[in-house]
Each structure stands twice: as structure tokens, then as C-alpha cells.
Structure 1
Amino acid sequence: MKNKILYLLICLSSISFAQESISELLEKYNNHSVPYISVQELAMPKTEAILLDARDYKEYAVSHIKNAIHVGYDNFDLKTLKKNIPETSTAIVVYCTIGVRSERIAEQLKQYGYTDVYNLFGGIFEWKNNDFPIYNSDNKETEKVHVHSKDWAKWLLKGIKIYD
């Protein structure tokens, strides 16, 4: 009986360890070359920054953070961005679904000479999970969030999950 209970406890503990948190995912996939900014800090009125959305356009069209500029990931164009944001000391926050693609874009910005660049910790999921508003392509508040993939969907705890 003791062996069965011990086996059951081991199985249950391995299940709980198998479920990663957003922090663990970012630790696993990111190299932390760009500092994070929390959604709470970004939402503060004193925080002034240009927001760049590094997701696919279909994700951005479903919902995005107010006033975010879509820059994409696969088709990100640094030269066009440089024309629109010529001052390299401008505060920039890049976000995506949870913060992996946005780190790659933020790294490019830093390599190009931008000096005040941040990655939004937890991306749009963390933003929505903390009850901050998101907007659709008509700039109307929405509950819908494109989840990028079924694997990532479990990290969105609030809102309506939209798949392709």
C-alpha cells in the first residue's frame, strides 16, 4: 500500500512539474538580451513608449493593445521602422503573444542602435489576463484574442480564444 501511495504521489508531482508557467517558457525560449517591462508598469500613466506588435497581421487584427503599431515578425522591416521612428533614444515596447517573437524583434532594434527597448513580459496574454483592454481592427474594445496556436492557448486565462 505504501508503494502505491508513493507511486501516486510521484506521478502527481511529475504532472504538476510538467506544466510550465509563462516565466518558465520565457526562460526556456528567450536569452534575456532585452529587459522586460511588466504589463502593470506599461499600463501606468507615466509610462510613455511606442508599442510595437510583433505578431502576424491576422493576430493583430483580432486584437491588439491600444495605439500599437503592427510591425509583424516574418516580414519585419527595420528600415521602414527607422523612417517612422528616427530617434534611437525613443522608448519602445515590443510585444507578441507571450514574449518570444517580441524578444527577437527587440534584439534587432537594439542591434540597429535603439537604446530604450523593452520586451513586454507575457505579451498580450499577460495584458489581457490582467484585465487591461484590447482593441480590434476597428479600434473597438474586444474580448477576443488570437492565441497563435493551440499549444499557447492554455496561457490565455481571460478573454475569448480565437484560432485561425
Structure 2
Amino acid sequence: MFSALPGCGQNKSATNVDSGYDRLLRTLYRSEVPTIQPAELVELRRRTPRLVVLDTRTPAEYQVSHLQAARFVDYDQFDPATLRDVPRDQPVVVYCSVGARSQTIGEKLQKLGFRDVRNLYGGIFQWVNEGQPVYDAKGPTSRVHPYSALWGIWLKKGEKAYE
């Protein structure tokens, strides 16, 4: 099981400051799928070899970069059959750009019987903003798909790449 985390309204960024990004995220997140901070995910990956990390963005976003060993599950074409090999008691972390789409997929996973689902707080943007690595098909990269110019303002580190 994951460690207990503060409620969404109490969550702070790594600098412990209630940023504009944190305020935005509180408007997007619902409490059904608990969040996990990037640093906590790093530690969880060390302790939990069976952990499944799911990238819930679009194919173009995933191709630009993703978390290491993340499985792609297309948000727009989500098919539960792609996860038939994942035991329902296995820990799962979902993410997207900021956490809104992954929250929706997390809720679907819970309805499918997955018992240990978390949403990466702030998505891949927060992950990269905190200096965590991302990868493409060739290996480590600094490129991140910002989803759109509107959402891309929250990506403070990394190279914005729309291709």
C-alpha cells in the first residue's frame, strides 16, 4: 500500500509554497484518486518492483517523452483489455501532463477493481519541474510535450516540444 498523503486541498509543492500551480491543481482534482508526489514516486519505485506506471496522454505526447518504464494507455482510446495482465491488487500510478486526464483514468481503474491507484501530483510537468528524468525511444531527454501553449506555462524546466 502507498503511504498516506495529505488531502488535495492540503498538498504543497516540493518548496512547501502554495503556488499558482497548486491552486490550479486543486480545481482539477477530485478526491477519488489519491495523489502521490514525485519524490514519493521515486522512493516507491525503489521499494516496489511490481509497481505499474501508466502514461495516460496521447501517442504524440508519449513519443516526445515519458517516465522511465511507463506503459502507454491512450486517454482518448482507453481500453481496459490492455491491462488484463495487471493484477487488481498491484500498485498503479497514473499520470498525464498535469493530472486531470490521469485522474479520469484512475477512476476508471478503480471501477475495474484496481485497489491501489494513485495519481502523480502535477503530472509529468511537476515531475520535470522537480528535476526528475524523462525518456524517449532513444533514452534520456530534456524534451517534454506541453500539451498546449495554455498548459505549457506550467512547465518550468525541460525543452517544450510539440512534435
TM-score (norm 1): 0.83
1:22 deviation in Å?
A: 2.3
Higher Rg: 1
Q: Could you list the structure 1 runs, at least 4 aligned residues long, displaced by more than 4 angstroms after superposition.
A: none
Question: Which of the pair is proportionally richer in helix?
Answer: 1
SS at match of 1:84: coil
Q: Secondary structure at the match of 2:54?
A: strand
What residue number does 2:145 align with? 146
Q: Which amino acid aligns with 1:131?
A: G
- Conserved 8 A contact 1:34-1:103: yes
Report the Cα distance in structure 1 between the residues aligned to 2:81 and 2:20, rounded to whole angstroms.
Answer: 35
CA offsets, 1:104-158, max 9 Å, x none? 00000001100000000011111111111100123x1000000001011111111
- CA–CA distance in 1 between the matches of 2:114 and 2:20? 30
Q: Distance in 2 between matches of 1:95 and 1:124?
A: 7
Counterpart of 2:82? 80
Give the deviation of 1:97 after TM superposition. Answer: 0.2
Residue equivalent to 1:134: 134
Show structure 2 runs of 5+ residues with no match: 1-18
Cα shift at 1:61: 0.4
Unmatched 5+ stretches in structure 1: 1-19
Percent of residue pairs identical: 41
Size of the aligned set, in residue pairs, is 142
For 1:30-41, list aligned pairs within 5 A. 30-41=29-40
TM-score, normalised to structure 2, is: 0.83
RMSD: 1.3
Distance 1:21 1:114 in 2: 32
Pick aligned residue for 2:70 from 62, 68, 75: 68
Is the contact between residue 41 and residue 47 of structure 1 (CA under 8 Å) also seen in structure 2?
A: no
What amino acid is the match of 1:29? Answer: L
Indicate the residue corresponding to 1:107 in structure 2. 107
CA distance in 2 between partners of 1:21 and 1:122 (Å): 12
